[in-house]
Structure 1
Amino acid sequence: MLRGARPRRGAVLLLAAAAVASSSGALAYDHRGGHGDASSTAVHVSASSPLRRVLSSAAEGILPGGAHLLAPGLAPAEGFSILNSFVSVANWSAGFPIQNSFASASVPPTNLSNQSSNGNSDDSKCCPGCIGRNTIAKAAAAVGPAVVNISSTQDTHGWVLEKSIGSGTIIDPDGTILTCAHVVVDFQSTKPILRGKVSVTLQDSREFEGTVLNADRHSDIAVVKIKSKTPLPSASLGSSSKLRPGDWVVALGCPLSLQNTVTAGIVSCVDRKSSDLGLGGVRREYLQTDCAINQGNSGGPLVNLDGEIVGVNVMKVWAADGLSFAVPIDSIVKIVENFKKNGRVVRPWLGLKMLDLNPMIVAQLKERSSSFPDVKKGVLVPMVTPGSPAERAGFRPGDVVVEFDGKLVESIKEIIDIMGDKVGVPFKVLVKRANNVTVSLTVIPEEADSSR
């Protein structure tokens, strides 16, 4: 017999004997203090005479002369300690993988009362905020019934010219649905055209004809409305501003009727696609995640672990497997408010390229030019669009905006929030220029051209 084969054979016999004994009731268990220490616990096993002979043979196969570990003189009514008997295996020069298994027998068995009949344990967590085994499933279940399938076609004389399949989420029991604009709007023509028909299918197989209320091509967000005589499931809105890189999120979609897809990942970053207040008036902000989504998931919700919508899935990166983007829900809320108030998204246009400053960027700029103004924070204007409201107001490349409408500002977002949807309203702006020259300007934003 090859060297090492005998211990392995003995180990197999020992494990087999233990398994048979466990199922047949040949072993009886009780807990006693180990090594005289009341704080430690050992598992003691009482074996029947036939089983003791099998175990003795197995122990002899593992370690020549090891049968004495089972104490042959042990009376059947007495027990032997797995902890005390087998922990000595750790001293074998050849080592034996089973030592960890038997040493762990000194730990009290896990309370099985928390296990369901199908073997799944409860959703207990080690600490507040930790993820349990059912956390992601619960988040998906919370919003799942509100995720719908959206298909739209455009018929001409009986011919189906186009069909789009995407997803959406009911955000109000009255039938208000969030989805992507490209799902319900044709952007191939020079001007966006609403598709001819929109069909909405719920998870419970109900089908409705949907009406596209509004669509915004810059954010790729649209609102669809369906009417139902019975209550509709809806999802709750969360806050995207509270998300941090590394937070868990779940992307859902309904690319096929009655079939939801669920993928989990983390927030990679908030990707600001444009800082140009001349392109639609606001930056395009996306939540970048590593949740894998497919084309049918477009318009579906991105939710946090509480099952709240924190974004709407808009696209994936084909060259980067699993990388995808979603519009933050905080931005969507403002878009929907604009829809209700103005029937469209009103974006003030200044015609400025802007860049948030921080001490490191400022230090780098001062290295390049000693005349750069003495500021720690603010918003730099690297470019001014010719013929824009900003140029007419007197803005110059290199200006640093420190106050907007009488408020100290440190970021583009603060300027956007101050302007809101105000068009034709004058704003006082304080800028600093080279050699710390301070200039007060008045700018009157115009509404951005939606065709830009």
Structure 2
Amino acid sequence: MATRRGFLGMLTGFAGGTALATYTSIPDRYLPPREQLPPAIRPSAAETNPRPSSVTRPEDSAFDEETRERAREVGLATREAVVYLELRAGNRFSVGTGWILDDEHVVTNGHVVSQGGEVTCYTVDGDTLALELVEASRDPDVALLRTDDEVPATLSTGAAERLDRDQPLVQVGHPGSVGNWIISLGRFGGRTGVLGSGDTLRSSVPSAQGNSGSPLVTLDGDVVGLTYASTMGQGRFPGSTPEPSDDRVRESFASNSSALHVPVETVEELVDEWTA
């Protein structure tokens, strides 16, 4: 099992969007000793087989049963090459996601790892990979890390340029409010130029803090994007007259947001440049 070493990224706000890394400042006295970090994060039985109340009911789903089952199969296979990045610098503790591109490289976001620090990289089986930073960019938001350890699996890449509107897409990552190696399903929503990143993919795949660096994959299991942020949906156009919503008493809000992803072609171009 490899030792810990690596780099820490600071969360930076983007105009019009929110980066999807999880960052917390914790007094040193509350942090466990380094030799005990982190606790086991292997997916629990509850995460692998969630309670019916914690998942979308078939009758409420926007997808048919065949698509949902295919998404689950692809998600489970994708998990094998998705890693959990736990980063620490002083009293700052953060979490992000990465995925294994080939026998020696892990891809994540630049905002996750670009500022230095210490990283522990976990695979879904609970093993660790020692990582060193190759290069990181904030625009586009991509980073490449290298390992000399044996990797458990790799992901194949597809073509984002061939995506069709409303095509089902799957994501695997670590949304902190939900759990680890969470499989989520949504649709391709097109391309946008938000957040200063130029050509960006937009989807309805559910995402939350901790999903930074997650792979966005097709139902064939090919990576087509790198998740890096989300943007809230606009409720109405400025200048229009607001209208009251229904009169339900609400105990929680479901946010209407879009996940944003760097196209895999952009990721591959940077990888080729950084490894040349």
Q: Greater relative contact order: 1 or 2 (C-alpha under 8 angstroms, separation 6 or more)? A: 2
Counterparts in 2 of 1:230-241, with a 5 A limit?
230-241=150-161
TM-score, normalised relative to structure 2: 0.63
Matched residue, 2:223? 309
Matches within 5 A, 1:13-412: 131-132=66-67, 134-154=69-89, 160-174=90-104, 176-185=105-114, 194-228=115-149, 230-255=150-175, 259-273=180-194, 284-318=198-232, 321-341=256-276
* AA in 1 matched with 2:152: L
Distance 1:267 1:132, change over 3 A: closer
State the Cα deviation string for residues 272-294 of structure 1 (Å, max 9, x = none).
348xxxx8xxx621110011101
Distance 1:162 1:305 in 2: 37
Task: Look up the equivalent residue of 1:139 and give its one-letter code.
Answer: V
Structure 1 unmatched runs, 5+: 1-129, 155-159, 186-193, 342-452
Deviation at 1:162, TM superposition (A): 2.1
For residue 138 of structure 1, give the secondary structure of its aligned residue in structure 2. Answer: helix
> Which SS does the other structure have where 2:202 is aligned?
strand
User: For the Cα contact (< 8 Å) 1:152–1:195, is it kept in 2?
Assistant: no
Please say if residues 147 and 254 of structure 1, whose CA atoms lie closer than 8 Å, have aligned partners that are also in contact: no
TM-score scaled to structure 1, two decimals? 0.40
Q: Is the 8 A contact 1:291 1:322 kept in 2?
A: no
State the one-letter code of the partner of 1:249: L
Aligned length: 189
CA apart distance, 1:266: 0.4
- Alpha carbons 1:147, 1:169 under 8 Å: kept: yes
- For the residues of structure 2 that align with 1:224 and 1:255, how far apart are their CA atoms? 21
Residues 292, 321 of structure 1: 8 Å contact kept:
no
Partners of 1:295 and 1:306 lie apart in 2 by 26
- Identical amino acids, percent of aligned pairs: 24
Q: Is contact 1:151–1:200 with CA below 8 Å preserved after alignment? A: yes
Name the CA shift for 1:264/1:316 in 2 (closer, same or farther; >3 Å).
Answer: same
2: CA distance, partners of 1:314 / 1:139: 21
Residue 224 of structure 1: how far off its partner (Å): 1.3
Once the two structures are TM-superposed, the CA of residue 318 in structure 1 deviates from its matched residue by 4.4
User: Aligned with 1:325: secondary structure?
Assistant: strand
Check whether the contact 1:142–1:235 (CA below 8 A) recurs between aligned residues.
Answer: no
Counterpart CA distance in 2 for 1:201 and 1:213 is 19
> Which whole-Å CA distance do the structure 2 matches of 1:265 and 1:249 have between them?
5
Partner Cα distance (1:133, 1:146) in 2: 21
Higher-Rg structure is 1
Structure 2 unpaired stretches of 5+: 1-64, 234-254
CA RMSD after TM alignment = 2.2
Q: Which structure has greater helix proportion?
A: 1
**1:290/1:133 CA distance change after superposition, 3 Å:** closer
After superposition, the C-alpha distances for 1:255-281 in whole angstroms (9 at most, x for unaligned) are: 56x93111111011111348xxxx8xx
Mapped to 1, the partners of 2:131 and 2:121 lie a distance apart of 6
The separation in 2 between residues aligned to 1:260 and 1:215, in whole angstroms, is: 24
Query: Following the alignment from structure 1 to structure 2, what is the Cα–Cα distance between the partners of residues 263 and 245?
Result: 18
User: Could you tell me how far apart the structure 1 residues matched to 2:163 and 2:224 are?
Assistant: 8
